[in-house]
Amino acid sequence: MLIFEKSREGRGCSILPPCDVEVYEAAPEFSRQKPLHLPQMAEVDIERHYTQLAAKAHGVNDGFYPLGSCTMKYNPRVNEQTASMSKFTHVHPLQPLDTLQGSLQVLQETEKALNAITGMSRFTFQPAAGAHGEFTGLLLIKAYHLANGDTQRTKIIVPDSAHGTNPASAVMAGMSVINTASDERGCVDVEKLRQICEGEEGKEIAGLMLTNPNTAGLFDPNILEITEIIHGCGGQVYYDGANLNAIMGVARPGDMGFDCVHLNLHKTFSTPHGGGGPGAGPVGCKEHLAKFLPGLVTEEKDGKLVFVKPEQSLGEMKNFYGNFLVVVKALTYIKMLGAEGIAAASENAVLNANYMMAKLRDKYDIAFDTKICMHEFVMDLSRLLKETGVSAMDIAKGLLDHGIHPPTMYFPLTVHEALMVEPTETESRETLDEAIQVLEGLYDLAFSDPEALHDAPHTTPVSRLDEVGAARHPVLRYAFE
């Protein structure tokens, strides 16, 4: 039942304090003529409404959440403690900098840490999410080419295994996309890349967007050659930080030849993810791109921290300094782990993924099976579908009955019937063993009773949803009487 349906005329509660400043009456042309449709409810009923909704949802605090490429690691409580400190919550972005030195220090120290992890020189914290970071990074690359008078560089190369947001961000940034097919190992086809860059099109190439390790959980062994080819034709190389959790503290995008990166603090650095947001997608770059960064960056002047506008800044990507409290949480995480802990987190993320892959290989086919994967791996259920009629979707729904959030489905697009599993480092061996047992059980069930899986889930608040109907005829608004 929606909160609007529970609303009753005249009910309410005193959540908002009485107004303690003079009421300002806006001019009639700017004021609302009809009252807002706000639900009218007692506080206890609001509490119950949201508690019931929370009970119907599944978060990483409820159970295993191996959603590939999303890095659903546990978010430590201590992050919330620091981010709730009134010294951080009771500040205003426009108050004098003298009174904000601690907050500036958070930005500066986080930037230093992220530079050390990625091999970049400067970071902006304005972008509020991963795709927002991609868009920012591409605008940086665009600004760089324009400043060099390279107005013809309008094409971005994106491999077919990339996240869908990559080509979308490129188009948003006014570029056109060259989609390149992966080779049979699921990595960048170096020869095809060379053909494009060394051919006629080379002088039109603005850059390449790449995730490494890629969406199949494989570290591209040719990465140095790839970045060299792009630089050779005058392009820039963008690192999509979606999969940084596999390599942080171990290998650096900057050393691989990348010119700029975005990181998802809400993935890799344990701040809440998705609907629990807000997120943060800070963008880092090497020195030659730093003068184009958006917003303000911190600098030390006469023993104090100040904000400085980069000389050829591309403008503002978001107001002020992005989602600042998310940065506080990420810095807490980095400080709690330290340099060794950061590397150990990645090592354990890779170990957990390999443990699950090795155990599941007996039953499930692994896509691009290279014995060792990075932080995630992709199962290809095409054979199971052919033999039993049970699809990746059916197995995913079956997992819900066991309190496990499904892996990412039908992605990457290069694998049919894909289930992409990313356990992350924060799961115990017992949790992994249980998930492996459940997945093996569902595999056997596909042969013995496929119908049971077609109808799954059976124990959730709602059973199989009509996804096609919802997509074809979406109801997006509550219709008030």
Residues that bind another protein (CB under 8 A): 164, 409-411, 413, 416, 467-468, 471-472
Nearer to another protein by C-beta: 98 or 466?
A: 466
In the bound complex, what is the minimum distance in angstroms from residue 164's beta carbon to another protein? 7
Residue 411 has which token pair?
């992605």
Nearest-angstrom CA–CA distance, 103 and 88: 7
In the bound complex, what is the minimum distance in angstroms from residue 298's beta carbon to another protein? 40
Nearest-angstrom CA–CA distance, 3 and 211: 41
> Quick check: 60 and 368 in contact, CB under 8 A?
no
Nearest-angstrom CA–CA distance, 237 and 228: 9
Nearer to another protein by C-beta: 150 or 189?
A: 189
In the bound complex, what is the minimum distance in angstroms from residue 409's beta carbon to another protein? 8
Residue type, 223: I
In the bound complex, what is the minimum distance in angstroms from residue 467's beta carbon to another protein? 5
Nearer to another protein by C-beta: 359 or 464?
A: 464
Nearest-angstrom CA–CA distance, 400 and 439: 11
In the bound complex, what is the minimum distance in angstroms from residue 196's beta carbon to another protein? 16
Nearer to another protein by C-beta: 77 or 386?
A: 386
> Quick check: 397 and 466 in contact, CB under 8 A?
no
In the bound complex, what is the minimum distance in angstroms from residue 171's beta carbon to another protein? 12
Nearer to another protein by C-beta: 333 or 411?
A: 411
| 404 phi-psi bin (left φ>0, alpha ψ -120 to 50, beta other) | beta
Buried b / exposed e over 57-83, threshold 16 CB at 10 Å, is: eebbeeebbbbbbbbbbebeeebeebb
Nearer to another protein by C-beta: 87 or 416?
A: 416
> Quick check: 285 and 139 in contact, CB under 8 A?
no
| 323 phi-psi bin (left φ>0, alpha ψ -120 to 50, beta other) | beta
Nearer to another protein by C-beta: 292 or 411?
A: 411
Beta bridge partners of 182: 188
Nearest-angstrom CA–CA distance, 237 and 254: 10
In the bound complex, what is the minimum distance in angstroms from residue 124's beta carbon to another protein? 30
Nearer to another protein by C-beta: 307 or 410?
A: 410
In the bound complex, what is the minimum distance in angstroms from residue 356's beta carbon to another protein? 23
